[in-house]
Structures are given as C-alpha cells and as structure tokens.
C-alpha cells in the first residue's frame, strides 16, 4: 500500500460524507485551495500531511484532518460550528475504524477545536490521525543492479 493509496481512501471517505462540501490537501499555506481548485464551500475538510514513520514491518502515515465551518463571530455560532465539525470527524473515524480493515487504528486520537480568521471566519476541529499499514521492507523487489 502506497502513500497515494492511503490518501485516496481518505479522500473517498470524505467525499462520500453527505455534509462535507469541499476537501483540500497540502501545507497550511494552501488551506484556502480546495483539492480540485474549485470554490471553497463549507463544511470544508483539509488534509495536512505531517511526519510518517517507517519500520521493518509497518508504515505509519500521519495527517492533521482540519474540519471547518464558516460562521459569524459570535460565541453561539463558533461553538455550534465546532460541535458540528467534531461530529464530522467522529463520522470519518467511525467509517475508517469499522469499514477499512486494511488499516490498524489506535482510537486514542487528539482533537483540538479552533476559531480562525482567514478570508472567512471559520471554526472547527483538528484531528491528529494516523494510519498504520502492515508493510514489510523487502529488498527482493528493490530496483537495484546486482552488487559487483
């Protein structure tokens, strides 16, 4: 399983969620640029890759899943947007945990709520997500010329 395979699975799950309207990917500087270059509609999910770990028998891919909703700058609207985004994150985790058996998950993920002002006032939640993939290092398939 490759890095792209993991992202394709995550994009697929997010795109099938009936509430989430837009998905983006990349560094935080790209947060206002949806994946397909279209207009940002909310709720908006943004996938930010973080550090990954490679071991002898597994690969761990880590991402921040930033879920945001546009809102007015009032406490009630901010809290409601954070609550809604928290639920969307739980929906995605449930889909991954119960329907994606090819990954090993530790469901002890950290979620942080936020309010930010980019071009829009947005509130939401950020999930630290990790995918553990059974992936054995195999030098039999590596594309090297034989050692002289």
pLDDT profile of the chain (148 residues), mean per 10: 92 96 92 75 95 88 95 93 97 91 78 85 93 78 79
Residue 20's nearest CA partner among 118, 99, 100, 90 is: 90
Max Cα distance, the chain (Å): 70
* Interacting residues of 103 by C-beta distance below 8 A, sequence separation 6+: 6, 96, 131, 132, 133
What was the pLDDT predicted at 131? 87
Find the radius of gyration of the CA atoms of the chain.
18
What was the pLDDT predicted at 71? 92
What was the pLDDT predicted at 16? 96
Query: Would you say the C-alpha torsion 127, 10, 91, 106 has a positive or negative sign?
Result: negative
Q: Residue 76, by phi and psi: left (phi above 0), alpha (psi -120 to 50) or beta?
A: alpha
How far apart are alpha carbons 85 and 148 in whole angstroms? Answer: 57
Phi, psi of 71 (to 5 degrees): -155, 170
What was the pLDDT predicted at 137? 74
Instruction: Report the Cα 52 to chain-centroid distance in Å.
Output: 13
3-134: in CATH 1.10.150: no
- Helix runs in 17-128, H state only: 75-99
Coil/strand/helix, residue 54:
strand
């Amino acid at each position: 399983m490759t890095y792209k395979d993991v992202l394709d699975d995550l994009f697929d799950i997010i795109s099938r969620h009936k509430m989430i309207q837009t998905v983006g990917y990349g560094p935080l500087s790209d947060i206002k640029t949806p994946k397909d270059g279209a207009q940002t509609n909310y709720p908006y999910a943004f996938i930010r890759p973080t550090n990954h770990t490679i071991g002898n028998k597994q690969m761990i891919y880590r991402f921040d899943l930033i879920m945001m909703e546009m809102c007015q700058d009032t406490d009630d609207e901010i809290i409601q947007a954070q609550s809604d985004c928290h639920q969307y994150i739980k929906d995605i985790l449930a889909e991954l945990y119960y329907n994606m058996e090819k990954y090993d998950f530790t469901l002890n993920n950290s979620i942080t709520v936020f309010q930010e002002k980019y071009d829009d006032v947005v509130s939401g939640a950020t999930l630290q997500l990790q995918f553990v993939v059974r992936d054995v290092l195999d030098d039999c398939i590596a594309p090297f010329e034989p050692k002289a």
